[in-house]
């Protein structure tokens, strides 16, 4: 299994950063864990990592803080097929609903 840091406050050279979090687990499926707070930055970092956002199978949202979920809307513009998994107690907008 490979874990790729896509977005956080300590970005790799050439990647955009922000006070947020997103990781991609790459194994038998591609699972995006959280989406950070900025969809365009997240998508840019997908491109920098040479990964097609359409290749993501699932998105797991850990909790409903903006720095973990606000990038979802921007991600969904590139991949509307990935399953979104979130805690039941999530107080998020309808577009994040499972």
Q: How confident is the model at residue 6 (pLDDT cuts 50, 70, 90)?
A: confident
Residue 98 has pLDDT above 50, yes or no: no
More confident site: 46 or 7:
46
Parse the chain into domains and list their residue ranges.
2-89
More confident site: 91 or 81:
81
Q: What is the pLDDT of residue 93?
A: 54
Q: Which residues contact 74 (CB under 8 A, 6 or more apart)?
A: 35, 38, 39, 40, 42, 43
- pTM for the full predicted model: 0.84
Q: What is the pLDDT of residue 42?
A: 93
35-85 pLDDT tens trace:
999 999 999 999 999 999 999 999 999 888 888 899 999 999 999 999 999
Evaluate whether the domain defined by 2-89 bears CATH number 3.60.15.10: yes
Between CA 31 and CA 47 the distance in angstroms is 16
Nearest to 71 by CA among 39, 97, 43, 45: 39
């Amino acid at each position: 299994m490979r874990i790729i840091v896509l977005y956080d406050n300590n970005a790799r050279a050439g990647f955009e950063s922000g006070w947020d979090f997103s990781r991609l687990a790459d194994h038998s499926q591609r699972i995006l864990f959280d989406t950070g707070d900025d969809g365009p930055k997240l998508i840019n970092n997908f491109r920098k990592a040479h990964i097609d956002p359409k290749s993501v199978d699932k998105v797991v949202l850990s909790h409903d803080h903006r720095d973990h979920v606000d990038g979802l809307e921007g991600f969904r513009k590139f991949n509307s097929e990935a399953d979104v998994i979130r805690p039941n107690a999530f107080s998020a907008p309808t577009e994040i609903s499972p």
